[in-house]
Amino acid sequence: MGRKTTGRSSRRSSASTSPPTESVPPSRRGRAGARPPGTTRDLPTEEVRTSTGTARLVPDPDGSTGVTLLVNGVPSSHLDLADPGLLTFEYMQQMAAVVAALPSGPLRVVHLGAAGCAFARYVEHERPDSRQVAVDLDADLVARVREWFALPRAPRLRLRAGDARAELATLPDASADVVVRDVFAGDTTPEHVTTVGFVHEVLRVLRPGGVYLANCADRPPLALVRAEVATAVSALVANGATDRGVWDDVGLIAEPGQLKGRRYGNLVLVAVRPSSTVSTGPSDDPAPTGLDLRDAALARALRSLPVPATLLTGEEVRRFAGAAAPLEDPPAPVPPAGPVPSAPPDDATRPGAPATQGRDAVGQGKG
């Protein structure tokens, strides 16, 4: 779910490294008979029933090759069928800028909340030979997007139907470079994918130096996003990060107006799993060697987007979070207690007493 950059523009995300193309090369167009990329012809125009509700494809009004996927009436993905490198949702452009700051080459990416797989198509376009897994709760939608769009085939992109947290738990340790959370029920994120326990699972799946990107939708006074920042910090500390340096591994990306509490919108939470450390000099204070959120180049890339964005990290993001408490999983249910033993009858024998003895024989003498 997200807001599109105002108007249709040929300007691409600053994270993109190549011009718009017709689509993927012929050798990557999937199975024979798959829908040719670059056209909205033959896409359904009516609402389609899915496992969790409805889906509808709305072509861009300018007659171009863009289409918006609505899931239960909410805009969930925008794809340019002729150009997988074009992202129009602002939060996806922000995520793309972070991905572009990672070392060059293929990536292993997990997408929780697949929808139309717009961001997965982008990664495939920018990082050929990447290996990706995309998860969506709606099994019918997963099958439909394979039918509607020219998506990369397995093993380059594997689609799974299931709950995001449950599927995350099945992935191996240290197996992903990036985990993207873009999970919504309507316009809210389900609570079970916002907690310390969930972020701990994300960190388990990430390789050292790997990046967690979460699409957070919130409205003033941004209490939920503040709590999500605190949650990420708590999970990093539990994972072994130091209290002193953890705030440099957490960032928040947003339009300046959102940070001032002017409107509802999408903000991007970034958390980096610390990698190996190096000595920084006489103080011997270790510093992470993975993605550095303090890098001025990343801040410049975000300011250069069609809608400029700000990155808070370090002391700035600490002040933003303030006294917000981390989000925790509810306590595990207490198993029901066994049956309570009934009181022994008056004529029961005391343990160890002869069976022939009754009440009178165990301390109740006659008067």
Per-residue pLDDT of 192-208, as tens digits, reads 999 999 999 999 999 99
Domain extent at residue 158: 88-276+288-321
What pLDDT, on a 0 to 100 scale, did the predictor assign at position 1?
63
Q: Is residue 67 part of a domain?
A: no
Q: Mean pLDDT, to the nearest integer, of 144-157?
A: 92
Q: Is residue 24 part of a domain?
A: no
Q: Is residue 263 part of a domain?
A: yes
What pLDDT, on a 0 to 100 scale, did the predictor assign at position 243?
72
Q: Is residue 271 part of a domain?
A: yes
- Pair 173, 204: CB distance under 8 Å: yes
What pLDDT, on a 0 to 100 scale, did the predictor assign at position 276?
56
What pLDDT, on a 0 to 100 scale, did the predictor assign at position 212?
98
Helix (H) or strand (E) holding 168: helix 164-168
What pLDDT, on a 0 to 100 scale, did the predictor assign at position 336?
81
- Rounded CA separation 86/88 (Å): 7
What's phi and psi for 100, nearest 5 deg?
Answer: -65, -25
Q: Mean pLDDT, to the nearest integer, of 116-145?
A: 96
Question: Residue 33 contacts by C-beta under 8 Å, 6 or more apart in sequence?
Answer: none
Question: Residue 17 contacts by C-beta under 8 Å, 6 or more apart in sequence?
Answer: 100, 126
Grade residue 55 by pLDDT with cuts at 50, 70 and 90: very high
Question: Of 319, 191, 303, 326, which Cα lies nearest the Cα of 254?
Answer: 303
Q: Mean pLDDT, to the nearest integer, of 78-97?
A: 96
Buried/exposed code over 35-58 (b: 16+ C-beta within 10 A; e: otherwise): bebeebeeeeeeeeebeeeebebe
Grade residue 10 by pLDDT with cuts at 50, 70 and 90: very low
pLDDT surpasses 90 at 156? yes
Measured CA distances, 159 to 112, 131, 183, 214, 328 (Å)? 10, 11, 15, 19, 29
Q: Mean pLDDT, to the nearest integer, of 6-29?
A: 36
**Range from 9-13, 38-42, 120-124 that averages highest in pLDDT:** 120-124
For the whole model, what pTM was predicted? 0.81
Q: Is residue 238 part of a domain?
A: yes
Q: Mean pLDDT, to the nearest integer, of 264-281?
A: 76
- Rounded CA separation 326/195 (Å): 7
What pLDDT, on a 0 to 100 scale, did the predictor assign at position 333?
82
The residue that leads in pLDDT, 365 or 175, is: 175
Q: What is the mean pLDDT of the chain?
A: 83
Q: Is residue 333 part of a domain?
A: no
Token digits for 67? 């289409």
Q: Mean pLDDT, to the nearest integer, of 122-147?
A: 96
Please state which of the ranges 12-16, 161-165, 233-237 shows the lowest mean pLDDT. 12-16
What pLDDT, on a 0 to 100 scale, did the predictor assign at position 290?
64
pLDDT surpasses 90 at 271? yes
What pLDDT, on a 0 to 100 scale, did the predictor assign at position 355?
43
pLDDT surpasses 60 at 366? no
What pLDDT, on a 0 to 100 scale, did the predictor assign at position 348?
46
Q: What is the pLDDT of residues 172-195, one digit of tens each?
A: 999 999 999 999 987 889 999 999
Q: Mean pLDDT, to the nearest integer, of 25-39?
A: 43
Grade residue 36 by pLDDT with cuts at 50, 70 and 90: low
Q: Is residue 116 part of a domain?
A: yes
Token digits for 203? 């960190």
Question: Residue 122 contacts by C-beta under 8 Å, 6 or more apart in sequence?
Answer: 84, 85, 87, 92, 96
What pLDDT, on a 0 to 100 scale, did the predictor assign at position 367?
44
What pLDDT, on a 0 to 100 scale, did the predictor assign at position 17?
35
pLDDT surpasses 50 at 280? no
What pLDDT, on a 0 to 100 scale, did the predictor assign at position 22?
32
Instruction: Give the percent of the chain with pLDDT over 90.
Output: 66
- Rounded CA separation 84/199 (Å): 29
CATH code, 102? 3.40.50.150
pLDDT surpasses 50 at 296? yes
What pLDDT, on a 0 to 100 scale, did the predictor assign at position 28?
34
Number of structural domains in the chain? 1
Q: What is the pLDDT of residues 215-236, one digit of tens each?
A: 999 999 999 999 999 999 999 9
Q: Is residue 44 part of a domain?
A: no
